[in-house]
Amino acid sequence: MTSAAGLETLIKAQAYGLGFDLAGITHLAPAESTRAFRDWLARGYAGEMSYLLRTADKRTDARLPVPAARSAVVVAMDYGGREPTGPVARYARGDDYHDVMLDRLHALHGWIESHLRRDVLGRAYVDTGPLLERDLARRAGLGWFGKNTNLIHPRLGSFFFLGTLLVDLELMPDEPFESEHCGSCTRCLDACPTGAFVDERVLDATQCISYLTIELRGAIPLELRARMGDLLYGCDICQDVCPWNVKFARTLREPAYRPRAAVAAKDARTLARDLLEMSEDDFGKSFKGSPMKRAKLRGLKRNAAVVLGNVGTHADHEILARALDDPEPLLREHAAWALARIRG
């Protein structure tokens, strides 16, 4: 029979074998970042992400989502911080990481049951469940909270996804990551084009380009449009400038995250024009299984109009003028803004 300590080692080894780049274990308990999270919500920094407020009680106590669970296996998967910058954030260029990681966490769960030769109650989460996964990851020894709010690992940087498998097993926890290694560096805070960082480790999401291009459903505030530059979906700037990524970011190794044809090697202007001309059917085919579907085509066309307003030329007049007749008011408004910018 496997000893408790031996089981933890085997679980983490299996996680690495499934393609995860980091793995750690922690007990379930109230989140240490509860006060900061609730204060963040109270200040309105979550914007339209009302689901965070609705699930706040569960998120701040990891014992609540699966009451019978006792331990969390927390994993990380790198998505290639060495890939070139572009109009789409690196994480969203390939297949949806939720699907990729959930499949492997389910496989890990299955392996645990097979190894123990019994059913093990468990549930996997990747970004969409009521958990503060970053908090669990720090307690599982996977890194510290950077000043840009990302979890940073001292040998991997921050270009990775987090996932969690909650299980009803009393597993020996790893040592939490107690120290932080940002020092006096403020490169991430200084580089943000929209000034979204209210303070160190405090992000006003409503000012963040990732929020504006993905989560926001309505019009992008006028004062922020020009600052978006050529960024069409998401933003990597605060990670790009981080010294830990400059030194330790990896090349892309996971085939599932390789850029799909619809975005691969396209500059911002080309991709923006493609999206403005795209039908719902073409969008469904080109972005099936992509994280970019979260913004829906209307949101991507809105973003595309802003990008052309920032980097377009007089050659883009015609495509933007056609957008003025689109049945979608959101697109018409942003296309008019873009035309005014180009003519200005």
Catalytically active residues, by annotation: 127
Non-local CB neighbours of 267 within 8 Å, separated by 6+ positions: 86, 87, 230
For residues 109 and 111, give the distance between their C-alpha atoms in angstroms, rounded to a whole number: 5
Whether 249 and 159 have beta carbons less than 8 Å apart is answered as: yes
| Tokens standing for residue 270 | 């080309």
DSSP 119-144: ---EEEESSSSSS-HHHHHHHTTS-E
Whether 71 and 28 have beta carbons less than 8 Å apart is answered as: yes
What are the helix and strand counts (H, E) for the chain?
16, 8
Q: Where do we find the tokens 């080109």?
A: 286
**∠ CA(17), CA(19), CA(23), 5° rounding?**
80
